[in-house]
Structure 1
Amino acid sequence: MNNIVIDLTMPLYTGMRVFPGDPEVKLEIVHTHEANTWELRRLEMGSHTGTHVDAYSHMHEGGATLDEIPLHRFFGKARVVERHSDWPAETGLFFTDEAGMELADKIVSRKPGFVGGNITEELQRTLLGHSIVTYTDLINLERIPKEQNFMFYGLPLKIKNGDGSPVRAIAILEG
Protein backbone atom coordinates (compact mmCIF):
# COMPACT_ATOMS: atom_id res chain seq x y z
CA MET A 1 0.00 0.00 0.00
CA ASN A 2 1.54 3.33 -1.10
CA ASN A 3 0.97 6.41 0.99
CA ILE A 4 0.13 9.75 -0.63
CA VAL A 5 2.32 12.66 0.46
CA ILE A 6 0.95 16.19 -0.03
CA ASP A 7 3.24 19.18 0.39
CA LEU A 8 1.39 21.90 2.32
CA THR A 9 4.27 24.39 2.18
CA MET A 10 4.51 27.57 0.13
CA PRO A 11 7.93 28.21 -1.41
CA LEU A 12 10.14 30.95 0.04
CA TYR A 13 11.51 33.54 -2.39
CA THR A 14 12.77 37.11 -2.51
CA GLY A 15 9.94 39.60 -2.55
CA MET A 16 7.17 37.19 -1.52
CA ARG A 17 4.10 38.54 0.26
CA VAL A 18 4.47 39.06 4.00
CA PHE A 19 2.15 40.31 6.75
CA PRO A 20 2.14 44.14 6.69
CA GLY A 21 5.03 45.43 8.78
CA ASP A 22 6.94 42.12 8.83
CA PRO A 23 10.47 41.98 7.40
CA GLU A 24 10.77 41.54 3.64
CA VAL A 25 12.05 38.18 2.40
CA LYS A 26 15.50 38.25 0.82
CA LEU A 27 17.36 35.16 -0.39
CA GLU A 28 20.79 35.92 -1.78
CA ILE A 29 23.44 33.62 -3.23
CA VAL A 30 26.71 34.41 -1.42
CA HIS A 31 28.84 31.45 -2.55
CA THR A 32 28.74 29.78 -5.96
CA HIS A 33 30.08 26.51 -7.35
CA GLU A 34 32.18 28.47 -9.83
CA ALA A 35 33.89 30.68 -7.24
CA ASN A 36 33.84 28.47 -4.13
CA THR A 37 33.07 24.89 -5.27
CA TRP A 38 29.85 25.01 -3.21
CA GLU A 39 26.63 27.01 -3.16
CA LEU A 40 25.31 28.92 -0.16
CA ARG A 41 22.44 31.38 0.35
CA ARG A 42 21.84 34.06 2.95
CA LEU A 43 18.25 34.04 4.20
CA GLU A 44 16.59 37.17 5.59
CA MET A 45 13.01 36.95 6.78
CA GLY A 46 10.77 37.16 9.80
CA SER A 47 10.02 34.13 11.94
CA HIS A 48 6.41 34.13 10.65
CA THR A 49 7.21 33.97 6.94
CA GLY A 50 5.42 31.68 4.50
CA THR A 51 4.05 28.43 5.89
CA HIS A 52 4.87 28.70 9.57
CA VAL A 53 4.03 27.60 13.09
CA ASP A 54 3.31 29.91 16.01
CA ALA A 55 4.61 29.32 19.54
CA TYR A 56 2.38 30.31 22.44
CA SER A 57 4.77 33.20 23.13
CA HIS A 58 3.89 34.74 19.75
CA MET A 59 0.73 36.31 21.15
CA HIS A 60 1.09 35.74 24.90
CA GLU A 61 3.90 37.25 26.95
CA GLY A 62 5.49 34.52 29.05
CA GLY A 63 4.01 31.76 26.88
CA ALA A 64 6.15 28.80 25.88
CA THR A 65 8.66 29.39 23.09
CA LEU A 66 9.45 26.95 20.27
CA ASP A 67 12.35 25.37 22.12
CA GLU A 68 10.11 24.84 25.18
CA ILE A 69 7.19 23.17 23.39
CA PRO A 70 7.60 19.38 23.23
CA LEU A 71 8.45 18.15 19.73
CA HIS A 72 5.44 15.79 19.62
CA ARG A 73 3.13 18.86 19.53
CA PHE A 74 4.25 19.60 15.94
CA PHE A 75 2.95 16.41 14.32
CA GLY A 76 0.16 13.89 14.66
CA LYS A 77 -3.20 12.67 13.46
CA ALA A 78 -5.20 15.42 11.78
CA ARG A 79 -8.27 16.20 9.66
CA VAL A 80 -9.49 18.88 7.29
CA VAL A 81 -12.90 19.63 8.77
CA GLU A 82 -16.14 21.40 7.95
CA ARG A 83 -17.23 24.11 10.37
CA HIS A 84 -20.41 22.33 11.45
CA SER A 85 -19.26 18.70 11.43
CA ASP A 86 -18.57 16.62 14.53
CA TRP A 87 -14.80 16.76 15.10
CA PRO A 88 -12.85 13.97 16.76
CA ALA A 89 -11.09 14.65 20.06
CA GLU A 90 -7.31 15.08 20.29
CA THR A 91 -6.91 15.34 16.51
CA GLY A 92 -5.31 18.29 14.71
CA LEU A 93 -7.86 20.42 12.85
CA PHE A 94 -7.43 22.28 9.56
CA PHE A 95 -9.95 24.67 8.04
CA THR A 96 -10.32 25.62 4.38
CA ASP A 97 -13.25 27.97 5.10
CA GLU A 98 -12.62 30.85 7.50
CA ALA A 99 -12.78 29.79 11.13
CA GLY A 100 -13.37 32.59 13.62
CA MET A 101 -14.14 33.14 17.28
CA GLU A 102 -17.58 31.53 16.95
CA LEU A 103 -15.73 28.18 16.81
CA ALA A 104 -13.31 28.80 19.68
CA ASP A 105 -15.20 26.92 22.40
CA LYS A 106 -15.89 23.96 20.13
CA ILE A 107 -12.25 23.75 19.05
CA VAL A 108 -10.85 24.05 22.57
CA SER A 109 -13.27 21.38 23.86
CA ARG A 110 -11.91 18.87 21.33
CA LYS A 111 -8.34 19.36 22.69
CA PRO A 112 -6.45 19.35 19.37
CA GLY A 113 -2.68 19.61 19.63
CA PHE A 114 -2.64 21.98 16.65
CA VAL A 115 -4.99 23.94 14.40
CA GLY A 116 -4.33 25.60 11.06
CA GLY A 117 -5.59 26.75 7.73
CA ASN A 118 -7.93 29.67 7.33
CA ILE A 119 -8.21 30.89 10.93
CA THR A 120 -8.69 34.48 12.05
CA GLU A 121 -6.06 36.33 14.09
CA GLU A 122 -8.49 36.57 17.02
CA LEU A 123 -9.07 32.80 17.00
CA GLN A 124 -5.34 32.20 16.65
CA ARG A 125 -4.68 34.32 19.77
CA THR A 126 -7.32 32.38 21.72
CA LEU A 127 -5.96 28.97 20.66
CA LEU A 128 -2.38 29.91 21.52
CA GLY A 129 -3.66 31.01 24.94
CA HIS A 130 -5.01 27.46 25.39
CA SER A 131 -1.63 25.91 24.44
CA ILE A 132 -2.84 24.88 20.98
CA VAL A 133 -0.14 25.31 18.32
CA THR A 134 -1.31 27.19 15.21
CA TYR A 135 -0.15 26.92 11.58
CA THR A 136 -0.54 29.69 9.04
CA ASP A 137 -0.23 30.01 5.23
CA LEU A 138 -0.65 26.33 4.41
CA ILE A 139 -1.33 25.45 0.78
CA ASN A 140 -2.99 22.45 -0.90
CA LEU A 141 -5.39 21.69 1.96
CA GLU A 142 -8.13 21.31 -0.67
CA ARG A 143 -6.28 18.21 -1.96
CA ILE A 144 -6.98 16.39 1.31
CA PRO A 145 -10.39 14.69 1.55
CA LYS A 146 -12.44 16.34 4.28
CA GLU A 147 -13.29 14.34 7.39
CA GLN A 148 -10.55 11.76 6.67
CA ASN A 149 -7.68 11.23 9.12
CA PHE A 150 -4.12 11.76 7.91
CA MET A 151 -0.72 12.26 9.52
CA PHE A 152 0.51 15.84 9.64
CA TYR A 153 4.10 16.97 10.14
CA GLY A 154 5.04 20.66 10.54
CA LEU A 155 8.39 20.76 12.32
CA PRO A 156 9.87 24.15 13.20
CA LEU A 157 13.50 25.13 13.39
CA LYS A 158 14.68 24.84 16.99
CA ILE A 159 15.04 28.59 17.57
CA LYS A 160 16.04 29.49 21.13
CA ASN A 161 13.23 31.64 22.58
CA GLY A 162 11.51 31.39 19.18
CA ASP A 163 8.03 32.86 18.75
CA GLY A 164 7.51 31.11 15.42
CA SER A 165 9.31 29.43 12.55
CA PRO A 166 8.86 28.57 8.90
CA VAL A 167 8.11 24.85 8.52
CA ARG A 168 8.05 22.20 5.81
CA ALA A 169 4.51 20.98 6.36
CA ILE A 170 3.29 17.70 4.87
CA ALA A 171 0.22 15.51 5.00
CA ILE A 172 0.54 11.74 4.62
CA LEU A 173 -2.63 9.91 3.56
CA GLU A 174 -2.94 6.16 3.47
CA GLY A 175 -3.08 5.10 -0.16
Structure 2
Amino acid sequence: MEVIDLTKTIFDGMPVYSGDPEVKIDVATTVKKDGHEVRSLRLGSHTGTHVDAFSHMHEGMASLDDIPLTQFYGRAVRVTPKMDFPAHTGLFFGEDVGEDVLEKIIAASPPFVGGSLSEELESGLLAHKIVTYTDLVKLDLIPSGEVFTFFGLPLKIENGDGSPVRAIAVLGE
Protein backbone atom coordinates (compact mmCIF):
# COMPACT_ATOMS: atom_id res chain seq x y z
CA MET A 1 0.00 0.00 0.00
CA GLU A 2 1.23 3.48 -0.90
CA VAL A 3 -0.23 6.75 0.40
CA ILE A 4 0.25 9.88 -1.74
CA ASP A 5 -0.43 13.30 -0.24
CA LEU A 6 -2.16 15.40 -2.95
CA THR A 7 -2.36 18.50 -0.74
CA LYS A 8 -0.71 21.90 -1.18
CA THR A 9 0.84 23.24 2.01
CA ILE A 10 -1.01 26.27 3.40
CA PHE A 11 1.32 29.07 4.48
CA ASP A 12 1.20 32.72 5.46
CA GLY A 13 0.91 34.97 2.41
CA MET A 14 0.53 32.10 -0.08
CA PRO A 15 -0.92 32.96 -3.50
CA VAL A 16 -4.73 32.84 -3.70
CA TYR A 17 -7.32 33.14 -6.48
CA SER A 18 -7.92 36.77 -7.44
CA GLY A 19 -10.44 38.32 -5.06
CA ASP A 20 -10.16 35.58 -2.40
CA PRO A 21 -9.09 36.50 1.14
CA GLU A 22 -5.35 36.58 1.80
CA VAL A 23 -3.88 33.83 3.96
CA LYS A 24 -2.71 35.09 7.33
CA ILE A 25 -1.21 32.70 9.89
CA ASP A 26 0.03 34.09 13.20
CA VAL A 27 1.33 32.54 16.39
CA ALA A 28 -1.36 33.23 19.01
CA THR A 29 0.28 31.46 21.97
CA THR A 30 3.59 29.69 22.58
CA VAL A 31 4.65 26.80 24.80
CA LYS A 32 7.34 28.96 26.38
CA LYS A 33 4.99 31.83 27.29
CA ASP A 34 1.55 30.18 27.58
CA GLY A 35 2.20 26.46 28.11
CA HIS A 36 0.75 25.54 24.70
CA GLU A 37 1.13 26.56 21.08
CA VAL A 38 -1.80 27.81 18.99
CA ARG A 39 -1.98 29.42 15.52
CA SER A 40 -4.51 32.01 14.43
CA LEU A 41 -5.71 31.27 10.89
CA ARG A 42 -7.35 33.68 8.43
CA LEU A 43 -8.07 32.22 5.03
CA GLY A 44 -10.80 31.75 2.47
CA SER A 45 -12.86 28.61 2.15
CA HIS A 46 -11.22 27.91 -1.23
CA THR A 47 -7.60 28.19 -0.09
CA GLY A 48 -5.03 25.67 -1.34
CA THR A 49 -6.25 22.14 -2.03
CA HIS A 50 -9.99 22.38 -1.48
CA VAL A 51 -13.41 20.91 -2.18
CA ASP A 52 -16.32 22.87 -3.61
CA ALA A 53 -19.90 22.41 -2.44
CA PHE A 54 -22.75 22.73 -4.93
CA SER A 55 -23.66 26.08 -3.31
CA HIS A 56 -20.26 27.50 -4.36
CA MET A 57 -21.62 28.38 -7.80
CA HIS A 58 -25.35 27.69 -7.51
CA GLU A 59 -27.57 29.58 -5.09
CA GLY A 60 -29.93 27.37 -3.12
CA MET A 61 -28.00 24.14 -3.73
CA ALA A 62 -26.51 22.03 -0.93
CA SER A 63 -23.68 23.35 1.23
CA LEU A 64 -20.91 21.20 2.73
CA ASP A 65 -22.85 20.30 5.84
CA ASP A 66 -25.74 19.00 3.69
CA ILE A 67 -23.66 16.77 1.38
CA PRO A 68 -23.26 13.14 2.54
CA LEU A 69 -19.75 12.21 3.69
CA THR A 70 -19.75 9.38 1.14
CA GLN A 71 -19.31 11.99 -1.59
CA PHE A 72 -15.91 13.03 -0.20
CA TYR A 73 -14.11 9.69 -0.44
CA GLY A 74 -14.15 6.46 -2.41
CA ARG A 75 -12.87 4.64 -5.48
CA ALA A 76 -11.18 6.91 -7.98
CA VAL A 77 -9.03 6.80 -11.10
CA ARG A 78 -6.73 9.26 -12.87
CA VAL A 79 -7.97 9.73 -16.42
CA THR A 80 -7.48 11.76 -19.58
CA PRO A 81 -10.41 13.26 -21.51
CA LYS A 82 -9.96 10.63 -24.27
CA MET A 83 -10.25 7.60 -21.95
CA ASP A 84 -13.44 5.73 -21.15
CA PHE A 85 -14.59 6.77 -17.68
CA PRO A 86 -15.63 4.01 -15.27
CA ALA A 87 -19.12 4.42 -13.82
CA HIS A 88 -19.69 5.68 -10.26
CA THR A 89 -15.94 6.22 -9.70
CA GLY A 90 -14.24 9.51 -8.80
CA LEU A 91 -12.28 11.03 -11.69
CA PHE A 92 -9.02 12.98 -11.49
CA PHE A 93 -7.49 14.76 -14.45
CA GLY A 94 -3.73 15.33 -14.60
CA GLU A 95 -4.16 17.97 -17.31
CA ASP A 96 -6.31 21.06 -17.89
CA VAL A 97 -9.86 20.11 -18.88
CA GLY A 98 -12.73 22.22 -20.15
CA GLU A 99 -16.47 21.90 -20.37
CA ASP A 100 -16.24 19.85 -23.58
CA VAL A 101 -16.03 16.72 -21.36
CA LEU A 102 -19.00 17.68 -19.15
CA GLU A 103 -21.57 15.36 -20.76
CA LYS A 104 -19.11 12.45 -20.79
CA ILE A 105 -18.40 12.95 -17.09
CA ILE A 106 -22.09 13.27 -16.22
CA ALA A 107 -22.80 10.00 -18.07
CA ALA A 108 -20.24 8.22 -15.82
CA SER A 109 -21.98 9.58 -12.69
CA PRO A 110 -18.88 10.08 -10.49
CA PRO A 111 -19.36 11.28 -6.90
CA PHE A 112 -16.42 13.69 -7.30
CA VAL A 113 -14.05 15.09 -9.93
CA GLY A 114 -10.69 16.75 -9.37
CA GLY A 115 -7.82 18.37 -11.20
CA SER A 116 -7.30 21.54 -13.20
CA LEU A 117 -10.92 22.17 -14.13
CA SER A 118 -12.14 25.17 -16.12
CA GLU A 119 -14.61 27.40 -14.29
CA GLU A 120 -17.34 26.40 -16.78
CA LEU A 121 -16.70 22.68 -16.22
CA GLU A 122 -16.65 23.12 -12.46
CA SER A 123 -19.97 25.01 -12.55
CA GLY A 124 -21.55 22.31 -14.72
CA LEU A 125 -20.36 19.52 -12.44
CA LEU A 126 -21.60 21.27 -9.31
CA ALA A 127 -24.98 21.87 -10.99
CA HIS A 128 -25.22 18.08 -11.46
CA LYS A 129 -24.34 17.45 -7.78
CA ILE A 130 -20.79 16.28 -8.49
CA VAL A 131 -18.31 17.53 -5.88
CA THR A 132 -15.16 19.17 -7.30
CA TYR A 133 -11.59 19.29 -5.94
CA THR A 134 -9.00 21.81 -7.11
CA ASP A 135 -5.40 22.78 -6.44
CA LEU A 136 -4.29 19.17 -6.04
CA VAL A 137 -0.59 18.33 -6.36
CA LYS A 138 1.34 15.19 -7.33
CA LEU A 139 -1.47 13.69 -9.43
CA ASP A 140 1.28 12.54 -11.80
CA LEU A 141 2.39 10.03 -9.14
CA ILE A 142 -0.87 8.11 -9.61
CA PRO A 143 -0.64 5.70 -12.57
CA SER A 144 -3.20 6.60 -15.23
CA GLY A 145 -6.14 4.21 -15.29
CA GLU A 146 -5.24 2.54 -11.96
CA VAL A 147 -8.06 2.47 -9.41
CA PHE A 148 -7.18 3.87 -5.98
CA THR A 149 -9.01 5.06 -2.87
CA PHE A 150 -9.33 8.82 -2.43
CA PHE A 151 -10.02 10.80 0.75
CA GLY A 152 -10.72 14.56 0.73
CA LEU A 153 -12.80 15.33 3.80
CA PRO A 154 -13.82 18.97 4.33
CA LEU A 155 -14.18 20.80 7.61
CA LYS A 156 -17.81 20.69 8.76
CA ILE A 157 -18.60 24.35 8.12
CA GLU A 158 -22.20 25.44 8.58
CA ASN A 159 -23.50 26.61 5.16
CA GLY A 160 -19.98 26.00 3.82
CA ASP A 161 -19.45 26.71 0.13
CA GLY A 162 -16.05 25.01 0.21
CA SER A 163 -13.25 23.94 2.51
CA PRO A 164 -9.53 23.24 2.48
CA VAL A 165 -8.95 19.47 2.67
CA ARG A 166 -6.12 17.04 3.30
CA ALA A 167 -6.41 15.06 0.07
CA ILE A 168 -4.80 11.63 -0.13
CA ALA A 169 -4.68 8.76 -2.59
CA VAL A 170 -4.23 5.21 -1.27
CA LEU A 171 -2.80 2.90 -3.93
CA GLY A 172 -2.41 -0.87 -3.92
CA GLU A 173 -4.91 -1.79 -1.23
Q: TM-score, normalised by structure 2?
A: 0.99
The answer to whether residue 169 in structure 2 is matched with residue 171 in structure 1 is: yes
User: Corresponding residue for 2:131?
Assistant: 133
Moved more, 151-160 or 96-105: 96-105
Structure 1 residue 77: deviation in Å? 0.2
Superposition misfits of 4+ residues, deviation over 3 angstroms:
none
Counterpart-to-counterpart distance in 2, 1:161 and 1:51: 19
Tell me the matched-pair count.
173
- The alpha carbon displacement at 1:110 in A equals 0.2
Match of 1:116 in 2: 114
2:17 aligns with 19
The corresponding residue for 1:30 is 28
Query: Aligned AA for 1:138?
Result: L
Task: Map 1:99-110 to 2 at 5 A.
Answer: 99-110=97-108
Map 1:3-82 to 2 at 5 A.
3-82=1-80
Q: Which AA in structure 2 matches 1:8? A: L
* Counterpart AA for 1:56: F
Identical columns (%): 55
Give distance in 2, aligned partners of 1:38 and 1:112. 43
Aligned partner of 2:81 in structure 1 is 83
Q: Quick one: distance in 1 between partners of 2:131 and 2:17?
A: 19
Q: For 2:71, what is the secondary structure of its paired residue?
A: helix
| 2:95 counterpart (94, 97, 101) | 97
Q: Please give the root-mean-square deviation of Cα atoms over the aligned residues, in Å.
A: 0.6
Match of residue 143 from structure 2? 145
Q: Could you list the per-position Cα deviations for residues 44-64 of structure 1 after superposition, in whole angstroms to 9, with x for gaps in the alignment?
A: 000000000000000000010
Distance 1:166 1:91 in 2: 22
1:83 CA drift (Å): 1.2
SS of equivalent to 2:106:
helix
Report the CA distance between 1:118 and its aligned residue: 1.2
Residue 96 of structure 1, CA deviation: 1.0
Q: Secondary structure at the match of 1:155?
A: coil
Task: Give the superposition deviation at 1:99.
Answer: 1.0
